[in-house]
Amino acid sequence: MARITASVYTSHVPAIGAAIDLGKTHEPYWQPLFKGYEFSKQWLKDNPPDVIFLVYNDHATAFSLEMIPTFAIGCAAQFQPADEGWGPRPVPVVQGHPELAAHITQSVIQDDFDLTIVNKMDVDHGLTVPLSLMCGQPEGPEPAWPCPVIPFAVNVVQYPVPSGRRCYELGKAIRKAVESFDENLNVQIWGTGGMTHQLQGPRAGLINREWDNAWLDKLIADPAAAAATPHIDYVREAGSEGIELVMWLIARGAMDDAQAGATAADTPTVRHRFYHVPASNTAVGHLILENPQP
Ligand code: DHB
Ligand code: FE
């Protein structure tokens, strides 16, 4: 059967993609940020997944404000990097995993989560920047990401957005779906977006290190409590775009210790933790959690 072995959490910022694409990662502004991902790139090489289930948000790129699914699963064979105004990023086309995506869709919808099935979708910085941070820039004559990716888009752009609690429960349903797929696959689930940032209004540029780090502590040690964070707390404490953090709860809900009947033996190992300010207008948070070996 397929198995979720680890979860990865990381912020996304379009300027990070631009820094990589324009060869600026060693500039003094960016160097400390990319240093925080050195461990992670090696870890991913040492622990290569067969598939990445990548929870992210679209920024009115694939879905305009005319049509906004709350949860959308990418079932296509390929996803093109989107043109976000400056042309598409020079990164490989994302290869999907239609069989596993269709299986997860069937299982999760039967478990009462209404997903939107997406058979054609361009993917913006919300998905490509986390891939770049974890994989570096794919090179060679035929550059490719290291494995297939199932894009899972969550609406955190237009209110009402889903609650953290619902995201956490959805993570459990995704986990159950993966475990009922009849092929030995090593699956990682990534939760992306966040941490503190506000891009608009009088509080634009807001950063709240204390809140971010307390929330990371909670996500690690007491995820059900992190999932109970009300929307208004994200907006007040983490800024209007800090709401992207609910997506991390989907990944956390898929880990061993979040499942019914879990014991202390199911506690994940924190392989890596990193926090950095600033990256453009955003605080960057990053975690790698591994499930215990079976
Ligand atoms: C920034 C951050 C985001 O999450 C985003 O989607 C766009 C911009 C920023 O910090 O500039
Ligand atoms: Fe964003």
Kind of pairing, strands 3-10 and 282-290? antiparallel
Fold of 3-290: Protocatechuate 4,5-dioxygenase; Chain B (3.40.830)
The domain locations on the chain are 3-290
Which residue's CA is minimally distant from atom 1 of ligand 1?
13
Token pair, residue 262, equals 């879990």
For each of the chain's 294 residues, which pLDDT tens digit applies?
999 999 999 999 999 999 999 999 999 999 999 999 999 999 999 999 999 999 999 999 999 999 999 999 999 999 999 999 989 999 999 999 999 999 999 999 999 999 999 999 999 999 999 999 999 999 999 999 999 999 999 999 999 999 999 999 999 999 999 999 999 999 999 999 999 999 999 999 999 999 999 999 999 999 999 999 999 999 999 999 999 999 999 999 999 999 999 999 999 999 999 999 999 999 999 999 999 998
For 140, which DSSP code?
S
Question: Closest ligand 1 atom, CA of 241?
Answer: 4
Told to judge if 276 belongs to the known catalytic residues of this protein, a careful annotator would answer: no
The pTM is what? 0.98
- Ligand 1: list residues with CB < 6 Å: 12-15, 59, 197, 199, 241, 280-282
Q: How far is the CA of 261 from the centre of ligand 1 (A)?
A: 39
Q: How far is the CA of 26 from the centre of ligand 1 (A)?
A: 21
Which residue's CA is minimally distant from atom 10 of ligand 1?
281
CB 89 within 8 A of CB 125: yes
Active-site residue (options: 197, 231, 272, 286):
197
Composition of the chain by helix, strand, coil, percent to 5 = 35, 20, 40
Q: How far is the CA of 106 from the centre of ligand 2 (A)?
A: 29
Told to judge if 197 belongs to the known catalytic residues of this protein, a careful annotator would answer: yes
